[in-house]
Chain A
Amino acid sequence: MSLPPLALLLLGAGGLRAAEPGGGGGGSSGSSSSSSAMEELATEQEAEESHRQDSVSLLTFILLLTLTILTIWLFKHRRVRFLHETGLAMIYGLIVGVILRYGTPSTSGHDKPFSCSQEDRPFTTLLVNVSGKFFEYTLKGEISPGKIHNVEQNDMLRKVTFDPEVFFNILLPPIIFHAGYSLKKRHFFRNLGSILAYAFLGTAVSCFIIGNLMYGVVKLMKLVGQLSGKFYYTDCLLFGAIISATDPVTVLAIFNELHADVDLYALLFGESVLNDAVAIVLSSSIVAYQPTGENTHAFDAAAFFKSVGVFLGIFSGSFMMGAVTGVVTALVTKFTKLHCFPLLETALFFLMSWSTFLLAEACGFTGVVAVLFCGITQAHYTYNNLSVESRSRTKQLFEVLHFLAENFIFSYMGLALFTFQKHIFSPVFIIGAFVAIFLGRAAHIYPLSFLLNLGRRHKISWNFQHMMMFSGLRGAMAFALAIRDTATYSHQMMFSTTLLIVFFTVWIVGGGTTPMLSWLNIRVGVDPDQDPPPTNDSFQVLQGDGPDSERRNRTKQESAWLFRLWYSFDHNYLKPILTHSGPPLTTTLPSWCGLIARCLTSPQVYDNQEQLREEDSDFILNDGDLTVTYGDTTITANGSSGPHTATTSLDGRRTKSSSEEALERDLGAADHEVTSRGTRLVFPLEDNA
């Protein structure tokens, strides 16, 4: 709905003069008659009343969240794991929804539709002359003719129904940013290839499979006469895109708590995070698919390629936007001494991250996607430049925001099941949708895993594949995408079905995670940094050189050349430019840019060369969980390679090989190094090891 920002003057030409005998004399004349004063008072009271109702509805949500927090505490306290906080938030939302729906009297708002013959364009602003006074009205949206009577139905229900854009503009950004910011970078990058494959190819596959299956279902419904509106193939594909956004928060929370296998965690988390981004862009490019000519719902190659172009354009644009603001923040925090003032630093960090979103939206890209990549960039570069206090502050800030936003969305979902007024539940469609998501997920996981296993040394085993299949929960993103547009019959049906799918998967699948884990025989209670699965015993990790070097080789094989290229570029150029760590640019850049290199390298880097341990070694500590990124330690505790690097990386000629070695060490041996620290830090938190 992109209406041109126009102002329309609707001058009431005095049709009201009959109704108002003396009032037409103009608003600013000093003798305001008592009747207009009364009217003003009435308007004021009305505004006050509406403000009060807004407060009440917001208060309802806040009390819901408070209740959720308290109950969650009780559950955590008693170690109940079958219900996640999001599931609980939904239950409370449902209860309140029922109360609102059936408990409150349906007071009808006193808005009467009045018909005016007008130009055939809606305007964003409307000025209405009511007996000499001008009132300004803003466009809220189009209303389908069938809905007109619903508008008057229940004020309270309308009050608790938010504008869907709230989700995209306020609630989702902190969630997605936090996901990017707390990505376990080491494991993420190690499995980067697989994650990208699952996220991009997998989502596309799943979208198409679901779309096609649903098209079959719709055809069937048309045959048996259950379809009372239009449902095109593009709608089916859109449904596929919406429902392909997986969001296994529940499963991940349990993984986190039980310390399930880290590779599996990284795969699932990475997939779900990127998945969201892909789904959101995919759905908007499907919406953008508008074939020219009369037959607007037939296949059109040009329009199709345009859609693909839109997909690529939006995705890369958002990616660039996020990465650029992340880089700018990193530069600002590097070259200023802002870290003397943690408050300013935190505020800058917050504002820059937010501005990413706004910038992307202003340029027509997708803010949520930009925010995701901004989060990843911030975690990768800026985080190293922040002061220790700012690190914990930003972490905690976004954690709180994420927590609140997520629970809010889930409780709103529960509420929406009853308060949303245009639900269309079609049993055939719903059953078809459940079958479709199951098949879509299967067609996504198993073939891709098979293909990936061909290339991976460290195979994705069967039980992992089953677990990934199982944890295809749908969550906040699917809901937000579905609620975004509920104007037509098909979209309403899609929304209702999505809601049911989210409920089902969060409660049933989320609740079944713990049994499933033990049934599939997946390792639990793994130290997050011991991950290369020890074949026999967990003490292997702490053993000497033999298995270590072997493992290192294997890790080396695993990482694709693309990733290696990126890593060495990152390590040699980006890290030194953007952070205080890494080798000095003077050694990595060719000698002719010596001047620039010297000016961009921070003095600390030279010190780092000497130190045995850097102060910014990329540690991100969540509470209850230790995330170790692939460290920037050019000098590690690994005794054999320690002095080796110190000499080689000072030598400009051999940087290439030294960064390769650094990569190996980071991927393989850094595990070793970290484990010894990790055990000290993690074990106290772990209660069932």
Chain B
Amino acid sequence: MKRFSAFPYRRYVILSGFQLQMLTVTTPGSLLVSPRIPLSPGVLVGVVLRYGIHVPSDVNNVTLSCQVQTSPATLLVNVSGKFYEYTLKGEISAQELNNVQDNEMLRKVTFDPEVFFNILLPPIIFYAGYSLKRRHFFRNLGSILAYAFLGTAISCLMIGSVMYGCVALMKVTGQLGGDFYFTDCLLFGAIVSATDPVTVLAIFHELQVDVELYALLFGESVLNDAVAIVLSSSIVAYQPAGDNSHTFDVTAMFKSIGIFLGIFSGSFAMGAATGVVTALVTKFTKLREFPLLETGLFFLMSWSTFLLAEACGFTGVVAVLFCGITQAHYTYNNLSTESQHRTKQLFELLNFLAENFIFSYMGLALFTFQNHVFNPTFVVGAFLAIFLGRAANIYPLSFLLNLGRRNKIGTNLQHMMMFAGLRGAMAFALAIRDTATYARQMMFSTTLLIVFFTVWVFGGGTTAMLSCLNIRVGVDADQENVGVPESERRSTKAESAWLFRMWYNFDHNYLKPLLTHSGPPLTTTLPGCCGPIARCLTSPQAYENQEQLKDDDSDLILNDGDISLTYGDSTVNTDSVASSGTSRRFVGNSSEDALDRELAFGDHELVIRGTRLVLPMDDSEPPSNVLDSARHGPA
């Protein structure tokens, strides 16, 4: 479908309010905010609401003097003998006061920003974690982590500094109508550093662009969101002691860094823990006989991750991301086939609805949000800053990473990554979270413009950019290493860092057998002293797997129209040399071998399966072309 690659569905949303997506707005919104008010969506609707409808709100200005000291959460008002209960909605800044009475309709379609964080973002982020292409993700783990953590930090600082310069300039020319501190600039940097190249990825996916590039971009954007959200909340938490609350303070900064680390690791632990609990539950019960119960449990456990993290003061969205990754890595293998489909499809649908909802809400917000502050200098400065920030993120890091990587990240890939720095739902949600002050309102308006621009222009230009940068297209997702057997395998081995290898061994030898039905039995991997425990934790299937030539749970996650092959757990495979490595003495070696095989040779093995599955869908090139291009391509 060429039409779709040129016009990804998302752009319909913002441009025209395509009927389907219009409904998306009507639906969750009106239920959550005001069950009985019909909401009208889309940008067009936004315009209509803004300029077409004038609901005359009859306002009674009652001047009352009451002795209230604080703002309690609940208020009881005695109206001529009857008591009415009021709940606190929020603080209203003074200039907003007049807007309150303006247009009731506009106020109705403006949601509480927390809706995004509590209802719309979790399914999106969870699905991103759950559908991560794990094999490629783990192979590029080092690079992805570097881009996500270091890169986001660099980009945040870079954008913050550039914006501070811009703000200083505005102050000189007298264009600034309120306060704008350095922390605000940094916050803007954090907000706008959350990239979300869904549009680009959708096109990549359709055109079957280079898998490495896909994995890098997708992995970066997923982790990026998590980093940006924690970063922004730790910047908000930066509150220097004393009177000068907007100067630099070392202790406050270290406290902020501490908060960053604490929240991030806490959320990570929370997500991983619930994922592990779900895996254990699904492993040790026979829940798989009832797919409905299984799906229900899976859904509830994943949701409870979010709530648990929020209840403990961590960030729910980040926890959900890691929960999704854990669920995909362990629990998915324990589910029955039907539940695997069901969970995939359920979260796919939720992700689709939530994402389109957010994007159509963005279109709406451009007109219905009442406190926009559009400042040309700031907007131009911001565009410049995100460009510079993205460049400072990608190029130096790629250079550094290429020093260590065998399979270099080519210049054209770097340009593409630079180009694919779209901003999306996360940036919007972060920006809309707090629009109380002048600085925040200006940030919000600018973020909105940046999202529009990047989604429309960059998103639309992806196909052109791909051909311009000469990036391979129509690559079979799992064929890239065929025919480059020995040297390539070595290089893959060298590439994977020792940290990753250690993790892989641990995962393969202990976690997989403990949490799923696959992997070598624990009795062979654990030391002899824990024999009884090992025996009771290993599922009987694990022993059988030893004998089988093919696992039944070989980590295949089938998207529709796409197969993502993960690094398989097959301890026994077609490689006859290594198949003797099951005895306890050689566990270390054998798992190393397994890693090798899975990273390099595993491709080969999977290709044999992959070609059977993939080729029917792949209509562009016969495999021989791919072989050629693979030889010419990266090396």
Contact = CB atoms under 8 A, between A and B. Distances in A.
A13 interface: yes
A342 B345 CA distance: 10
Contact of A346 (B69, B77, B84, B349): B349
A514 B100 CA distance: 61
B67 A16 contact: yes
A422 interface: no
B560 A137 contact: no
Contacts of A37: 245
A169 B27 contact: no
Given A130-B71, A137-B88, A59 B80 contact: no
Chain B: interface residue count, which band? 35 or more
A70 B281 contact: yes
Given A10-B64, A62-B300, A136-B100, A127 B92 contact: yes
B101 to A, nearest CB: 5
B58 A6 contact: yes
Contacts of B77: 113-114, 116, 118, 122, 126
Interface in A168-203: 169-170
Interface string B95-107: 1010011001000
Interface in B72-96: 72-80, 82-95
Nearest to B76: A113
Contacts of A65: 296, 300
A610 to B, nearest CB: 28
Contacts of B65: 12-15
Given A55-B307, A66-B304, A120-B80, A16 B68 contact: yes
Interface in A338-355: 342-344, 346-348, 350-352, 354-355
Contacts of B478: none
Nearest to A389: B560
Interface string A419-453: 00000000000000000000000000000000000
B64 A114 contact: no
B360 to A, nearest CB: 12
Contacts of B313: 48, 52
A294 interface: no
Contact of A397 (B35, B88, B346): B346
Contacts of B293: 69, 72-73, 76
Nearest to A85: B293
A140 B85 contact: yes
A6 B91 contact: no
A113 B23 contact: no
Contacts of B82: 122, 142
Nearest to A9: B61
Contacts of B68: 12, 16, 114, 128, 130
A354 B94 contact: no
A110 B313 CA distance: 23
A9 B59 contact: yes
Given A66-B300, A134-B97, A350-B349, A73 B76 contact: no
A51 B281 CA distance: 29
Interface string B491-520: 000000000000000000000000000000
Contacts of A123: 60
B296 A138 contact: no
A170 B292 CA distance: 20
Contact of B73 (A111, A128, A403): A111
Interface stretch (A25-33, A215-223, A285-293, A664-672): A25-33
A310 interface: no
A46 to B, nearest CB: 6
A27 B72 contact: no
Nearest to A332: B19
B89 A137 contact: yes
Interface string A1-13: 0000111111111
A165 interface: yes
Nearest to A141: B85
B31 A169 contact: yes
A115 B63 CA distance: 14
Contact of A7 (B36, B104, B297): B104
B596 interface: no
B281 A142 contact: no
B76 A139 contact: no
B5 interface: no
A121 interface: yes
Interface stretch (A143-151, A274-282, A464-472, A596-604): A143-151
B100 A26 contact: no
A195 to B, nearest CB: 27
B139 to A, nearest CB: 28
Nearest to B85: A140
Contact of A27 (B66, B67, B94): B94
A135 B91 contact: yes
A151 B85 contact: yes
B38 A399 contact: no
B96 to A, nearest CB: 8
B63 A342 contact: no
A133 to B, nearest CB: 6
Nearest to A169: B35
Nearest to B72: A111
Contacts of A69: 287, 293, 296-297, 300
A138 B114 CA distance: 17
A135 B349 contact: no
B248 interface: no
B374 interface: no
Contact of B36 (A48, A59, A112, A361): A361
A48 B313 CA distance: 9
B586 interface: no
B296 A148 contact: no
Interface in A375-415: 389, 393, 396-397, 399-400, 403-404
A9 B101 CA distance: 9
A358 B31 contact: yes
B305 to A, nearest CB: 10
B290 interface: yes
Contact of B83 (A72, A113, A134, A404): A113
A623 interface: yes
B250 interface: no
Nearest to B278: A66
Contacts of B345: 346, 393, 396-397
Contact of A351 (B23, B31, B287): B23
A127 B342 CA distance: 47
Nearest to A110: B72
Contacts of B575: none
Contact of B92 (A43, A113, A135, A348): A135
A66 B349 contact: no
B85 A142 contact: yes
B243 to A, nearest CB: 7
Contacts of B438: 28
Instruction: Among B57, B80, B349, B353, find the residue whose CB has the most chain A CB atoms closer than 10 A.
Output: B349
Closest 10 CB pairs of A and B: A113-B76, A137-B86, A111-B74, A15-B65, A362-B38, A55-B311, A55-B310, A59-B307, A351-B23, A115-B78
29 contacts: A6-B59, A13-B65, A16-B68, A16-B69, A28-B94, A48-B313, A52-B313, A56-B311, A59-B307, A65-B296, A65-B300, A69-B287, A109-B74, A116-B77, A121-B79, A122-B79, A128-B66, A130-B70, A138-B86, A139-B84, A140-B85, A342-B560, A343-B352, A351-B23, A355-B26, A358-B26, A361-B35, A400-B295, A400-B346
Given A8-B62, A126-B77, A135-B71, 18 more contacts: A6-B57, A27-B94, A39-B70, A69-B296, A111-B72, A111-B74, A118-B80, A120-B79, A122-B79, A136-B89, A138-B87, A140-B85, A143-B85, A169-B31, A355-B26, A355-B27, A400-B299, A623-B292
Interface of A: 5-16, 19, 26-28, 30, 34, 37, 39-40, 42-43, 46-48, 50-52, 55-56, 58-59, 62-63, 65-66, 69-70, 72-73, 76-77, 109-116, 118-123, 125-128, 130, 133-145, 148, 151, 165, 169-170, 342-344, 346-348, 350-352, 354-355, 358-359, 361-362, 389, 393, 396-397, 399-400, 403-404, 623
